[in-house]
Every structure is written in structure tokens, then in C-alpha cells.
Amino acid sequence: MVSEPAMVKVWIRIFLAAALALALTRAAAAEPLSGVGFGDSLMAGYQLGPGEAFPEKLEAALKAEGFDVTIANAGVSGDTTTGGLARLDWSVPDGTDFVILELGANDALRGISPEITRDNLDTMISRLEERGIDVILAGILSPPNMGDGYAAQFNPIFPELAEKHGVPLYGFFLDGAITRGDLMLSDGMHPNAAGVDEMVGKFLPVMREYLSSRAD
């Protein structure tokens, strides 16, 4: 006859084996966080090769740090906030966990009223929140040729909307590249592949903080 202490050890082993099997099954079934980079040519990767656009390089950098995440590229060159609002619902599929929202540069280049830009971005953030999708807002600054008056209306849009909705803000999407000619294409407005690397490196702390907060 098996002694009682021996039986207890057997049951403990069975329990631990079952718990381990359940944990492994759950880990295998877990899906990566699904993100979308939603923006204009700065997101789309204007004149860059396969895998060189911001969403793809950001995904690779995060995976290298151990984050299980995918980031789809939903950038459209030339897009304004009005265009983004029109395509938001079908460009961001159900099941998306987060969106990096980067729009407004073309609004500023075209001199579109900052109030229109604000309203469009506000509506996009609200729509995504209603769908249970987190937003990480990537800010844009007015180009110098638009003048101080326009900049005074345009530049506060992003920090004010981030505060209103309580979403993470990255102050200036082109930070790290725009002031260096060797990191920009010849047009002076779009980053080259090395410029995207610099942008990704500066964006990573925001993503680390966001992804770590989801794991808590």
C-alpha cells in the first residue's frame, strides 16, 4: 500500500504538471498585440524600400526587445486629417489594440485651418476610443514658412488633444531627422532609411512605456 505522504507527492506532481501544461497552452494561444501606424507619407515610407518604413522598423525594434507586437502600415502619402477621418474605420480593422496616429503635416503645408485639423483629430481619437482601441498621438509642428500666427494655432493641437483624451503623446514625429540633411531625402521633408532609424530610436521610449503599462 502506498503511504499517505507518497500519495501527496504524487498528487502534487500531477497538479504541477497540469498547471505547466495549461500555462504552455495559454502562451501558445496568446496572440501578439496588434497595432496600426495610421498617417501620411511620413508613416507610409515615401520613396523607401520594403521594410524601411516607420511601422516596420518600429515593429522590428520592439520585437528585438522582447515585445510581442505587430504594427501594420496604414500610411497614405499626401493624406490630410480630413482624408484620414474618411478612411479611418476601414483602415483600422476590428481587433486592433492600438493606433499610432500621425496626421496633420499636409494640413499645415496646405494652410488648412487649424480648427479643421483639431476637429478631425479629435473625432478620430474619439472613434478609436469608442472601439476600445488605444491611441498613441504623434505630434507635428507647423513649418516655419507658415508664420508665427499659424504656428500659434496649430502646434498646441497635439498636446491639448492628448491631455483631453488622456492618451500618450510623442511631441514631434520627425524629431531626430528633420534637422540633419544626411537623414532626409533630397526634398528636405521626408526621412531616408537612416532617418527612420533615428526616428524609431527616439519613439521607442513612448512605446516601451505604453506596452509595459498594458502588461501590468
User: Active-site positions?
Assistant: 41, 187, 190
Burial class for 146, CB neighbours closer than 10 Å (0-12, 13-18, 19+): middle
Inter-helix orientation angle 81-91/114-130, to 10°: 10
In whole angstroms, what is the distance from residue 47 CA to residue 50 CA? 10
CA atoms within 13 A on the CB side of 14: 6
How many Å from the N-terminal Cα to the C-terminal Cα in the chain? 48
Distances (CA, A) of 162 to 101, 102, 157, 166: 11, 13, 9, 6
| DSSP H stretches of helix in 53-192 | 54-64, 81-91, 105-109, 114-130, 147-154, 157-165
